[in-house]
Structure 1
Amino acid sequence: MEIDQLKQSKIFKSTIILLALLIFGLLMDFFVMPWFVDLGDEKEMPDVVEKNANEAKNLLEKQGFTVIMADSVFDASFEAGMVVEQMPLAYSTVKTGRNVYLTVSIGERPIIMPNLFGISPRDAELKLNALGLKLKATLGSYSDLYPDGAVISQSFPQGQQIKKNTAITITVSFGEKPENRTIPNLIGKSYSAAKQRLEQLGVSIDKVEYEESTSYLPDTVLKQSLKEGTSITEDTKLTLTVSKLESDSQDN
């Protein structure tokens, strides 16, 4: 009896062990192994260069990758916020779940505004052009600190960061303001230069007349109604006669 009971007990234990091994094998086959296989899936890396960084991040994460914003660089070829470089490279075969490193553009490198004070307009223009900037306009004003012809102000302060091709306006000194203002000689000057000079002197242009001329470029002052040296008062006005091409018609 005792021997039979021992045999039955061993058979029962063996059956339990076999069932346990069978269940373990089924679990491994249907659940555990597929999970490991999935971790090793390979995919083609999508191309996210020239995409917005947020858009690229969302796209990669949806495909199971981990995105790391590795660096940001100045790059005139890419707008700020666009992906400049990715690692791994686009279209390479990689494991799902791996890290993808993105380099993002922060736009074009800014230019540091130089100091133009005290130099000539020509030197100022050359200095701006060398940095990729432009001279937009040149104004004039009297100055007790700077000699005639020297730059006395600029539209952006020295050291300010500005974009390439920004147009800069400068103001140039006329020298010290004379106590007795008189009408200058404007003949032979361009109309725009004559107008600017008169504005600085507080003189209004009452009228502009046009006269055909083959000796002067268009818009050159040929005559002025007040002679050079005439004292200027608060209500001083004058008429300018300006050249035009033959058969040219312009409104006064």
Structure 2
Amino acid sequence: MEFDFEQFRQTKLFKILAVILSLFLFTVIMDKIVMPWYVDLGDEIQMPDSVEMSVNDAKAALESHGFHVVIADSVYDAHYSAGTVIDQMPIAYSTVKEGRNVYLTVSIGEKPVIMPNLFGISPRDAELKLNAMNLKLRTTLYAYSDLYPEGAVISQSFPQGQIVQKNTPITITVSLGEKPSQRKIPNLIGKSLSAASQQLEQLGVKVSNIRYEENSSYLPNTVLKQSLPEGSMIGEQPEIELTVSNLEKSE
């Protein structure tokens, strides 16, 4: 059977092969002839250093030398403030042609932290969780709660999922358990002075005096004694004295 070239030219296969061949020839011509000729047109100069410059200053400096600036990437970087150039291509001081593109990588600052969920865990676990995420526990408040047991976190100063900056101070509120139906003096022994004071304040009890006692077995400012025993009924103008641990003996 004799091959009919004219008939083959009308086929879809021929057209596809023709397109592929044309693209191949175009690529070869551009790579081997046109681009080398274009590059050789410009004068060679030394590439300026734009790293650690602001992106606006870097752009102005590079364009003054005839370069075209392209912002190639923006990345988090704790070592550079937002808007600072942290990398360039071609590298500084290399010999390049005038008029070429310079690709810059720009810092967008330190990566923010996403606020974790602290509800329901202990204050100690909350502090560890915050520290692991480069956040700080600033203040611990206390309040009665019908939903959470005593010692569980019931509130946090930033909601879960909110973006916050590194080292942001966080305030938490810790449950004192259910509010008693009768106004009775609670057991304060072993609690921190802050927790005991806030619990008494919510019951309307005034701390009239705080004594300090040297005791290395407890953390500083831990309640050791209370002048009114647990379960005592609270009067109209109740006052209580607390004895609190101290590492040094008070005079």
- Using structure 2 for the length normalisation, give the TM-score: 0.74
User: In the alignment, what sits opposite 1:161?
Assistant: 163
User: In the alignment, what sits opposite 2:134?
Assistant: 132
Task: Give the share of equivalent positions with the same residue, in percent.
Answer: 69
- Contiguous gaps of at least 5 residues in structure 1: 1-35
The structural deviation recorded for 1:89 is: 0.6
| Structure-2 change in CA distance of 1:130 and 1:217 (3 Å) | closer
Q: Deviations over 1:75-113 (max 9, x none)?
A: 112111100111111111111111111111101111211
Q: How far apart, in 2, do the equivalents of 1:217 and 1:161 lie? A: 34
The structural deviation recorded for 1:213 is: 5.9
Q: How far apart, in 1, do the equivalents of 2:235 and 2:59 lie? A: 71
Bigger-Rg structure (1/2): 1
Root-mean-square deviation (CA, aligned residues, Å) is 2.7
The correspondence of residues 82-101 of structure 1 with structure 2, limited to 5 A, is: 82-101=84-103
| Structure-2 change in CA distance of 1:234 and 1:88 (3 Å) | farther
User: In the alignment, what sits opposite 2:109?
Assistant: 107
Instruction: Please say if residues 213 and 250 of structure 2, whose CA atoms lie closer than 8 Å, have aligned partners that are also in contact.
Output: no
**Equivalent residue letter for 1:170:** I
| Structure-2 change in CA distance of 1:55 and 1:179 (3 Å) | same
The structural deviation recorded for 1:122 is: 3.0
Instruction: Please say if residues 39 and 97 of structure 1, whose CA atoms lie closer than 8 Å, have aligned partners that are also in contact.
Output: no
The structural deviation recorded for 1:157 is: 0.6
| Structure-2 change in CA distance of 1:48 and 1:241 (3 Å) | same
The structural deviation recorded for 1:178 is: 1.1
User: In the alignment, what sits opposite 2:239?
Assistant: 237
Please give the secondary structure, in 1, of the residue aligned with 2:72: strand
Find out whether 1:173 has 2:168 as its counterpart. no
Q: How far apart, in 1, do the equivalents of 2:59 and 2:190 lie? A: 65
- Contiguous gaps of at least 5 residues in structure 2: 1-37
User: In the alignment, what sits opposite 1:120?
Assistant: 122
Q: Deviations over 1:151-172 (max 9, x none)?
A: 2111111111112222222112
- Using structure 1 for the length normalisation, give the TM-score: 0.73
